[in-house]
Chain A
Amino acid sequence: MKALVSVKRVVDYNVRVQVKSDGSGVVTDGVKHSMNPFDEIAMEEAVRLREKGKITEIVAVTIGGAKNEETLRSALAFGADRAIHIKEEGEVQPLSAARAFAAVLKKEGADVFLAGKQAIDDDANQTGQMVAALLDIAQATFASKVELEAGKAVVTREVDAGLETLEVDLPAVITTDLRLNEPRYLKLPDIMKAKKKPIETVSFADLGVEKAAALKATKTAAPPKRSKGIVVKSVDELVSALKGKGLL
């Protein structure tokens, strides 16, 4: 079985992002970037499924400018066999990304498309579902457990009411939730080995894909600041303050 895993380069999750004063976006120059945490979980799951003998080949794919090569190298260090870089400078919104991923999935004939449930920059939570829709294949989103069998996958999903289990025919899209696994730390020998693994570069045009009309960002603002609170000295003071506001 072949797995295609999408990875995205995002501002590192520990960075406190700053909104630009002219409202044109957030400051990303000179800010630490890394692989989207949910994508690390997708990579880890692909590698574990290979360790279990379920998957035989892992192909990592990303969309973006030249700097995204770093992210692909991380995916290769995780254990991807090879990588595909869909080169595109500037923002690519989910439907356009999904069209490109769907084209690659079809071309590669992969059995499973693994993706993070959302990227922590745009917080969209759309791309995986869109890939499945475009190819009319099954989707199992927010996965916390994945079992691959011949021709199908049994996936436990995190839904609002608890845990739901679905059985889906392959090929299918699976998006990862936080509790699916704990991604491994990359070891130096693996990072060195990753440098020799092949990365193929393609464009939207090569894939025969047209970008969809984009949502236009007209303004980016910082969220309203909460007014500074007070530190109370005792439980009594807290109780009377809350009672005073009619909250208790």
Chain B
Amino acid sequence: MSKILVIGEIADGKLNSGVAKVVAAAKQIGGEVVVALFGADVAGPADEAAKLDGVSKVLKVERAENKDILAATYAPQIVELAAGYSHVLFPGTAFGKDTAPRVSAKLGVQQISDVMVAHSATSFDRPTYAGNAIVTVEAPAAPAIVATVRLASFTAVAATGSAAVEAASTSAALPTHTRFVKLEAQKSERPDLQAANKVVSGGRALGSSDNFKVIYDFADKIGAAVGASRAAVDSGYVPNDLQVGQTGKIIAPELYFAIGISGAIQHLAGIKDARTIVAINKDAEAPIFEVADFGLVGDLFQVVPELQSKV
């Protein structure tokens, strides 16, 4: 039977909501699911993880050196912890993508990136070529399978469980070659882009950072998160953590508004799993209309305020 170690992620002192989706992927593989959390004090997030349905145990790995989230210090501890597990799963976030390959290389196995479906304990679907080709891979079972989970492909498990929380210690020697300096977080009162049910994204057609207010106002009216195309980020209209696409965030909201976004391959890779896509663009030939469930051809500066007044 599979024994699955899920590497938890903590952001702002809370359990990252993506962890509940990694647990869903672990349940699809089937077997015992253990969540490990790293930090200086992880009591709060550990209690949150213990409630996730399907989790049998939560391991708290508390060490002063774990205060800063660094792949270089976490990886040797994860490698030590992984002994006896058949799978080590990470969320497909910046943290997971940074850390998982470091663990995988130490274990001497190829890593599977962005698992979308687990067909069995060793067979998985993953996207390649910006999501334009889905490859089914068969991974050698030994010594372990290391993978990141594409969060947009899984629905979070319910918080109805009550797993035991245990302290775990690691003796791995930790490197000192990597030091955390600072984090400039983008503070936002809006819903988190990767967890939001509704997302409103703007593109190059907004024309300026000031004009992006149209997007923010509409998003606030319907309680949506704000996203952006690469063109809008590169033009400096919005910070880069709002970027949706192959090289930004991959999202799967119930409702996605693409406003003034042409729909380049790179952007579509980030929104293919949105339940309903609405496109507003003045160019009727824009590729975004090929994937939109509802399209409206028109000037966004007229259409969006009107839309806002009518919802």
List residues of chain A with CB under 8 Å of any chain B CB. 11, 13-14, 16-17, 19, 25-26, 93-96, 98, 117-118, 120-130, 132-134, 136-142, 144, 154, 157-169, 172, 177-179, 212-223, 226-227, 229-232, 234-236, 238-239, 241-242, 245, 247-248
**Contacting residues, chain B, for A94 (C-beta < 8 A):** 101, 110-111
Q: Is the CB of A215 within 8 A of B184?
A: no
- Interface residue B94 (Cβ < 8 Å from any Cβ of A): yes
Q: Is the CB of A133 within 8 A of B240?
A: no
**Contacting residues, chain B, for A227 (C-beta < 8 A):** 293
Q: Is the CB of B291 within 8 A of A226?
A: yes
Annotate B82-108 by CB proximity to A: 1 below 8 A, 0 otherwise. Answer: 000000000001110111111111101
Please tell me the number of chain B residues within 8 Å of chain A, measured between CB atoms. 87
**Can you spell out 11 A-B residue pairs with CB atoms less than 8 angstroms apart?**
A16-B132, A93-B110, A94-B101, A126-B104, A141-B97, A158-B240, A161-B11, A161-B241, A218-B123, A226-B277, A242-B278
User: Which of B98, B100, B123 lies at the interface centre, i.e. has the most chain A CB atoms within 10 A of its CB?
Assistant: B98
Given the known inter-chain contacts A160-B95, A161-B183, A239-B311, please indicate yes or no for A95 contacting B102, CB distance below 8 A: no
Interface secondary structure of B, over-half rule: mixed
**Contacting residues, chain A, for B278 (C-beta < 8 A):** 238, 242
Given the known inter-chain contacts A95-B105, A241-B294, please indicate yes or no for A139 contacting B98, CB distance below 8 A: yes
User: CA–CA, A122 to B310, complex, Å?
Assistant: 44
Q: Is the CB of B179 within 8 A of A168?
A: yes
Q: Is the CB of B140 within 8 A of A95?
A: no
Other 17 A-B pairs with CB < 8 A, given A216-B137, A226-B293: A95-B105, A96-B110, A121-B128, A121-B129, A124-B111, A128-B101, A130-B101, A141-B71, A159-B241, A167-B178, A169-B178, A179-B240, A213-B109, A218-B138, A231-B295, A239-B311, A245-B276
Q: Is the CB of B303 within 8 A of A235?
A: yes
Q: Is the CB of A133 within 8 A of B295?
A: no
User: CA–CA, A201 to B155, complex, Å?
Assistant: 48
Which chain A residue lies CB-closest to B183?
A164
Which chain B residue lies CB-closest to A222?
B133
Q: Is the CB of B131 within 8 A of A160?
A: no
B178 CB to nearest A CB, Å:
5
Contact partner, B294, options A96, A165, A166, A242, Cβ 8 Å = A242
Which chain A residue lies CB-closest to B239?
A162
User: Which of A121, A154, A179, A236 lies at the interface centre, i.e. has the most chain B CB atoms within 10 A of its CB?
Assistant: A179
Q: Is the CB of A213 within 8 A of B135?
A: no
Q: Is the CB of A238 within 8 A of B241?
A: no
Annotate B281-311 by CB proximity to A: 1 below 8 A, 0 otherwise. Answer: 0001000010111111100000100110011
- Interface residue B232 (Cβ < 8 Å from any Cβ of A): no
Q: Is the CB of A168 within 8 A of B183?
A: no
- Interface residue B166 (Cβ < 8 Å from any Cβ of A): no
